[in-house]
Amino acid sequence: MTAAAVELTPRRRTWSSFRRNPLGVASGLLLLLLALVAICAPLIAPFPEGYGADTSQPPSSAHWFGTDDIGQDVFAQVVWGTRVSMAVGVSASVLAIVIGLLIGVCAAYFRRLDTPLGVLVDLSLSLPVLPLMILVAALAGPSVRTLAVVIALFSWPEVARVVRSQALAIVPMPFVSAAKVVGGSSLWIVRKHLLPGVVPVVGVSVVLTTSRAVLSEAGLSFLGLGDPNSWSWGTILHKAQQSGALASAWWTTLFPSLAILLLVLSTTLLSVAYNDARNHRSDT
Amino acid sequence: MRRAVLLTALAVALTACAPSVPGSSGSSGSPGAQAPASADRLTIGTTADVVNYNPLVGNSRTDSWVTDLMYPKLTQMDATGKRIPYLATEWSYSEDGKTATAKLRDDMKWSDGKPVTASDVVFSVTAVQKEKFGVVAGLITALDEAEAVSPTEVRFKLSRPDGTFLDNVGFWLPVVPEDVFSKAPSVQKFANDKDWVSAGPFKLTKVERGQRYIMDRVDDFGPGKPTVKQVVFRVFPDVNTEVLALRNGEIDMIGNVLPPATATELKSDTAVKLQEIPSLGWAHLQYNTKRKPLDDVRVRQALAHAVDYEAIRNIALKGFAKSSNSSVLTPSLPQWTDQASKEYAFDPEQSKKLLAEAGQTNLRLGMIYDQADPNIARWAPMVRDAAKKAGITIELQGLERNTYLDKTTKRDFDIYAGSWAVMDNPPANLGLAFKSGGFINYAQVEDPKLDDLIDQAQRALTQEEAKPPIQEAARMIHDQVYDNVLYVETFNVAHSAKWTGFQPMPSELLSILNPLSLAAAKPAG
């Protein structure tokens, strides 16, 4: 039990039980597909700009997802939107994980920091996140970078809390005390024992934080705080709402919403599948 | 069987208990039932609450719509922007232009029974002059003193001849009851949020914040008894929900202007009638003439040649926009327009040539606009994409409204994309917009020759006299690209086909819900 997480055999066992979960595998594949679409966007569709003569056309063979009120192809918008939405999601989540990991591990290992950091985390968790995000995004001016930073700034506390509780269980372990006795520096112990111990929770956290970040991005962009120079799923929804065509041109809202739904659903299913596989509930 | 009876009884009881919704027309019968409208109630959808009941201060659209029905003005405007009588029956200037006189009608009464007299007009204009607030203050700088010659005659003494004075005061100044407003220590800070004493065709009787504003007919309204007994403003979250409510028959009119795409869609609905209302303002790009390289007229001309005007009008506005031939004298005010003005052609090659002459390569500029303005948000990317063809990079800065306003007042931008709502009197408005130090001189124009021309036009006492200098000024603004006018919007306002008799007037402030129009509205058929 002691070093279960770092040994190779349990990892393999996790993998094999994950493979047996069709929902998990399908979600993983879907995420891969979305990532592929994001990376290969220029190969799939031209960047949506300018205007076209076919305005507000329903889906057809020429325009798979129809066109919007200035004649741009909604399919191209969704494809390029995948890029920005996922980029913002992933970078915000990476940023949040780094901050959260740092604070969580510090709080668990350095006992004196636990209380102040705990207060900080509790405080951040109790903040009204959405209004604050709107405020910061509005003041900083809309750009992809601002969005990523703003979302990260408000998503790390969850990560910190999860990491801290996991690390708290590792700190009193005999091997950590042993490492201290042989004179290992704090940094070395954190790196060699604490970090590997919390990596599995972080893995789940990355996926969930990404999906939350994508949702936040869509929300902020829908409110008009997105980057006007690029496309994201939220931006498409925002433009559809602004054009006043919400009721008539259903295709302008359905497809970006579907993309958001697919991403959030598959990340949730993936993390559930991963968690189940790691805890080996099916084995017992 | 017994249970069924019980259920029916319950259902009946429930229906009886359901709160009746004043403000939804056809309260009996299902929504959407095409019963003919009765003259009892006209319900208007709006998207905002009344924030300010003090008509001298209020400036949001809903504020103006409601208070305009309560407080009379000296004059109204006809469909071409010319002033027509309202409280004033006639008005004129003295020979030297330093005295202006207005004669008032004698049959208007405040709701407390007292007559509307010249001293109310004098009080209103003096209060604004003393405390310097609102739109009017900036328009009456020529005023020395106003006095009531008789209960039905006001005389304005001016410090200099100003031919725009009566037009401005007549159209912009709401007349408020002296008895009520003079009790407040500061007229500007007077909230006027209860026990209203008004003199318009309707009086505000009930307010449910966030829900509805109920206004009742004034039977002895001087210019004529309104047909409709009650006008109700209902508050909706956005235009989309207003459209649904109009189609369901819950409301009879949408106060807000429809987005072009919605207007196109509603055209085919026979239950809804669209009224086209010309805008008195215009949408434009302004180049900050105090920033390099925009201080070079060739760079500004290059930018003017790098906008696809036709595409913006036809695609972003769905054709609900007119060309103004790049002139600030728009076709909405036909008596002022200059037929000789020509629109800048969309010609990227010409732009490149001009830029090369000015020694500019890789020009990069930022463009600020209000992200929440649906039309501008739609054409801003089109401006960027067209400029790209001329080798100009425009970076869009779609900002949240307050940030945008802040940057505008600080003149902190390269290019400003926006629109002016009501420019009803060219000599006065061009003064505010293009004279050195003008209140809305966003482009920071400082041109002594232009200042002279505008001054000359303002001094002229008749429109004929003011026309030549103002046309000359407009030509300068065109040639120097102090303003790049993109289009004059044609607003679409929707009302139920069950109503008729509206008197549309230009601008979204007046449209079909100006006092005279609502007083004249009646059920169709």
ipTM: 0.72
Provide DSSP, B39-88: TTEEEEEESS------TTT--SHHHHHHHHHHS-BSEEE-TTS-EEESSE
Give the chain B residue whose CA is nearest to the CA of A72: B315
Output the CATH code of domain B75-124+133-180: 3.90.76.10
Beta carbons of B240 and A71 less than 8 Å apart: no
Q: What local confidence, expressed as pLDDT, does residue A245 receive? A: 72
Residue A245, min C-alpha distance to chain B (Å): 6
Beta carbons of B400 and A138 less than 8 Å apart: yes
In chain B, ranges of CATH 3.90.76.10 domains = 75-124+133-180
A138, A226, B365, B472 from A145: Cα distances, Å: 13, 10, 20, 48
Q: What local confidence, expressed as pLDDT, does residue A281 receive? A: 53
Share of chain B above pLDDT 70, in %: 93
Q: Does position B403 have pLDDT exceeding 90, yes or no?
A: no
- Mean pLDDT for B260-281 is 90
Average model confidence (pLDDT) across chain B: 88
Q: Does position B68 have pLDDT exceeding 90, yes or no?
A: yes
Question: Which residue in B248, B262, B269, B389 has the most chain A C-beta atoms within 10 A of its own C-beta, making it the best mutation to test that interface?
Answer: B262
According to DSSP, the β-strands at B364-370 and B282-287 are unpaired
Contacting residues of B for A246, CB less than 8 Å apart = 240
More confident residue, B60 or B106: B106
Q: What is the pTM of this model?
A: 0.80
Contacting residues of A for B384, CB less than 8 Å apart = 229
Beta carbons of B239 and A244 less than 8 Å apart: yes
Domain positions in chain A: 74-278
Residue B82: which pLDDT band, with cuts at 50, 70 and 90? Answer: confident
Amino acid sitting at position B433: A
3-state secondary structure of B332: coil
Chain A interface includes B440 (CB < 8 A): no
Residue B211: which pLDDT band, with cuts at 50, 70 and 90? Answer: very high
Q: What local confidence, expressed as pLDDT, does residue A68 receive? A: 86
Beta carbons of B261 and A56 less than 8 Å apart: yes
| A187 C-beta neighbours (distance < 10 Å), count | 8
Q: What local confidence, expressed as pLDDT, does residue B38 receive? A: 75
Regions of chain A short of the pLDDT cut 70: 1-8, 280-284
A9, A11, A18, A163 from A6: Cα distances, Å: 9, 8, 18, 16
Beta carbons of A246 and B240 less than 8 Å apart: yes
Of A225, A242, A244, which has the smallest distance from its Cβ to B377's Cβ? Answer: A242
Beta carbons of A50 and B385 less than 8 Å apart: yes
3-state secondary structure of B144: strand
Q: How far apart are CA A1 and CA A275, in angstroms?
A: 17
More confident residue, B57 or B117: B117
Q: Does position B13 have pLDDT exceeding 80, yes or no?
A: no
- For the B282-489 domain, the top CATH level (class) is alpha beta
Q: Does position B15 have pLDDT exceeding 60, yes or no?
A: no
3-state secondary structure of B485: strand
pLDDT tens figures, B458-474: 999 899 999 999 999 99
Provide DSSP, B177-220: -HHHHTTSS-TTT----SS----SSEEEEEEETTTEEEEEE-TT
Beta carbons of A228 and B374 less than 8 Å apart: no
Contacting residues of B for A143, CB less than 8 Å apart = none
> Measuring CA to CA, which residue among B38, B69, B213 is closest to residue B509?
B69
Q: What local confidence, expressed as pLDDT, does residue B127 receive? A: 93
- Mean pLDDT for B128-148 is 88
pLDDT tens figures, B334-374: 999 999 999 999 999 999 999 999 999 999 999 999 988 88
A160, B248, B369 from A139: Cα distances, Å: 27, 40, 15
Residue B32: which pLDDT band, with cuts at 50, 70 and 90? Answer: very low
Q: Does position B89 have pLDDT exceeding 90, yes or no?
A: yes
Q: How far apart are CA A204 and CA A195, in angstroms?
A: 15
Q: What local confidence, expressed as pLDDT, does residue B445 receive? A: 95
Q: What local confidence, expressed as pLDDT, does residue B36 receive? A: 59
In chain B, ranges of CATH 3.10.105.10 domains = 282-489
Beta carbons of A139 and B371 less than 8 Å apart: no
Which A residues in the span 32-71 are in contact with B, Cβ-Cβ below 8 Å? 49-51, 55-56, 69-71
Residue B156: which pLDDT band, with cuts at 50, 70 and 90? Answer: very high
B362 DSSP assignment: S
Beta carbons of A242 and B399 less than 8 Å apart: no
Contacting residues of A for B383, CB less than 8 Å apart = none
Distant-in-sequence, close-in-space partners of B420: CB < 8 Å, separation ≥ 6:
B281, B282, B284, B429, B433, B440
- For the A74-278 domain, the top CATH level (class) is mainly alpha
Question: Which residue in A246, A250, A251, A252 has the most chain B C-beta atoms within 10 A of its own C-beta, making it the best mutation to test that interface?
Answer: A246
Range scoring the smallest mean pLDDT among B123-137, B150-164, B444-458, B483-497:
B123-137
Contacting residues of A for B380, CB less than 8 Å apart = 228
Ramachandran area for residue A7 (φ above 0: left; ψ -120 to 50: alpha; else beta): beta
Task: List for chain A the helix, strand, coil content (%; round to 5).
Answer: 75, 0, 25
> Which phi and psi angles does B164 have, rounded to 5°?
-95, -10
Q: CB–CB of B154/B147 below 8 Å?
A: yes
CATH 3.40.190.10 fits B42-71+187-279+492-523, yes or no: yes
According to DSSP, the β-strands at B321-322 and B282-287 are unpaired
Q: How far apart are CA B267 and CA B260, in angstroms?
A: 11
B511 DSSP assignment: B
Which B residues in the span 301-360 are in contact with A, Cβ-Cβ below 8 Å? 311, 315-316, 318
Tell me which H or E stretch contains B415.
strand B415-420
pLDDT tens figures, B220-256: 898 889 999 999 999 998 888 899 999 999 999 999 9
Q: How far apart are CA B174 and CA B65, in angstroms?
A: 12
Q: What local confidence, expressed as pLDDT, does residue A267 receive? A: 92
Chain A interface includes B193 (CB < 8 A): no
Range scoring the smallest mean pLDDT among A247-251, B1-5, B191-195:
B1-5
Q: What local confidence, expressed as pLDDT, does residue B58 receive? A: 67
Q: Does position B22 have pLDDT exceeding 80, yes or no?
A: no
Q: How far apart are CA B379 and CA B435, in angstroms?
A: 28
Question: Which residue in B267, B378, B383 has the most chain A C-beta atoms within 10 A of its own C-beta, making it the best mutation to test that interface?
Answer: B378
Of A49, A70, A138, which has the smallest distance from its Cβ to B403's Cβ? Answer: A138
Find how far residue A247's CA is from the centre of its chain.
31
Q: Does position B3 have pLDDT exceeding 70, yes or no?
A: no
Q: What local confidence, expressed as pLDDT, does residue B20 receive? A: 41
A272, B200, B374, B473 from A15: Cα distances, Å: 14, 78, 50, 78
Q: How far apart are CA B25 and CA B393, in angstroms?
A: 52
